Amino acid sequence: MASVFLGINDRTFTYESTAARAEHVGAGVRYPVDFAITSDDLAYIVNRGREDRPDGTRLTIMRLGEDGEEYISTFGSHGEGKGQFIWPMGIALDKDTNV
């Protein structure tokens, strides 16, 4: 199965597997909108949630590898306080893996 993503038409991507399950809370993702991968294969996944279910808004951390994925942690929530997000759309990590 091949797909074209984000208007990129000069590259072909081949589907390999699906990581994570659809979950509003806990060990999964809900409406993922961006991700960053570290050198040791940790994926930081931004989950946007939905307006009627904002509990899905969070960052999920998973280890991706040839043996499948491993859920590591989740942090953040919907809101305007420290550690909270209102409709997050992207992520960046520095060299020390700070979000």
67 DSSP 8-state letter = T
Residue 5 maps to a domain:
no
**Is a pLDDT exceeding 90 seen at residue 3?**
no
Residue 9 domain flag: no
Residue 12 lies in a domain: no
> Is 14 inside any structural domain?
no
- How far apart CA 95 and CA 87 sit, in angstroms, is 25
What would the two tokens of residue 68 be? Answer: 């499948």
Domain annotation covers residue 82? yes
Residue 10 lies in a domain: no
Distance CA 92, CA 57 (A): 17
- What is the pLDDT, as a whole number, of residue 30? 84
Q: Please report whether residue 46 resides in a domain.
A: yes
pLDDT band at 11 (very low <50, low <70, confident <90, very high): low
CATH number at residue 85: 2.40.10
Q: Is the pLDDT of residue 56 over 50?
A: yes
In the chain, % of residues over pLDDT 70? 88
Assigned token pair, 93: 């990590």
This prediction has a pTM of 0.76
Q: Which domain holds residue 41?
A: 19-99
Q: How far apart are the first and last CA of the chain?
A: 33
Q: Token pair 């209102």 is at which residue? A: 86
Number of domains in the chain: 1
